[in-house]
Structure 1
Amino acid sequence: MLSNQGYGVFELRSKQFCQLDTFKMERWFPELHMKNRGKKVRPPIAMDIMFDKALGLRYTCTGDEDGTLSLSVVKVDSEGAETKEEHVRKFSAPIAQVTFVAPGHLLVAATWEGAVMYFDYDVHGLSKGIMVYDSMNHDVVTSICPIERLDGHGFCIGTFGKTLLTYKIEGHDCVKQWQRKFRTPVLQIRSFDLTGDGLQDIAVISAGGLHLLQLNDQLVTKHISQKIAPKKN
């Protein structure tokens, strides 16, 4: 839980959510515990967590109201957790949202600064970020969302300028695919299978209501046909 008082973690006990005490926070979530103990707690706005089971590492990314972006690398085992690395980057704008888009990829929405993609954060931390093309040209970035495309990983960006931008990840580049204009500002985006057909749909919440976007059936059929068509020698 994010609040003006910092970070809170809850666990389910007897069908009720109970907040972890200071001892458990320090033992299992040291990266958040240290932020709560600071002389001046920065109000957090965004957080996302990626866990690498193979390495036993937890990547915790947080974004604050004052523009501070933090990425913690935490080693987790049966005895507890220990912060191994802490990477910090300062923006001039509040961090609206952070999300791990794909293995090794971290996407950050820095409101009026646009969106920034950090490739290979597990190797370079926050030292190598690239500005997502065209993300600064539609007013404030309000929301971001990873999507599973037919041809790989991608993501969407929503803006206060009433625009939805969609991108495909190609190697270490973010390639813009299309954009759509709405009548009111875009507030939130979610991507999931709405109809049970195995294809990812996009749900957009704007100031005007809920909008559901589905893939073009003809394009899907064409793409699948190309995939299963026998290759010529």
Structure 2
Amino acid sequence: MHEAGMNNADSSMIPVITIDGPTASGKGTIAHRVGQALGWSVLDSGALYRLTALAVRDGGIDPADELAVASIAGRLDVCFDGGRIWLAGRDVAAQIREEPIGNLASQVAAYGPVRQALLARQRAFRRAPGLVADGRDMGTVVFPDAPLKIFLVASVQARAERRCKQLKEKGFSANLAGLLQDMRARDERDRSRIHAPLSAAPGAKTIDSSNLTIDATVDAVLDYWSRL
């Protein structure tokens, strides 16, 4: 089990592949598969924002209070253990994937103080032999020196259908029309926020996964890596 704030000396020499993109574009799945193929660590940066959102909700914090939310983000008691995620001693891996938490995470992720509070924690995941990091600003802000930056996109319809299927498979109720509406709102919020708006990093390779299988998308990332 490791804590999200662990330091790593001389990490600038450790390679990183960043995978950024809008919600439900498949970043997390692709990042884990690429990490497995290469034997590298994986950072799901969105989990840290979702954990912050959950802590804000459970703590009765006003989500509009940027400094209070940033304070929560800076002192999260978090541990990652394989597929399990612990917050203050509770396994919350399933809870942070609920849509209300995702929407709240998108809201608090727009706050500059919150992003700053989580920056060092994200960079601490960079350890040998390498890291695959997925999120919305991995290539633009967190790891701007990454040798390979991927911008993973898919149509909003394809993304909503994937998320609907995921939620139903996990036993949650899901409504496609509602998901489409929420996704469009989150896309707009992510693209238009002042701090680290969602955009392709300079030099990023864009992959449209709308009509690609998971295996084909993973192969495309690995192919780009092999050609560096």
Give the TM-score taking structure 2 as reference length. 0.24
Name the one with the larger strand percent: 1
Name the one with the larger helix percent: 2
Give the TM-score taking structure 1 as reference length. 0.24
Structure showing greater radius of gyration is 1
More contact order relative to length (CA 8 Å, sep ≥ 6): 2
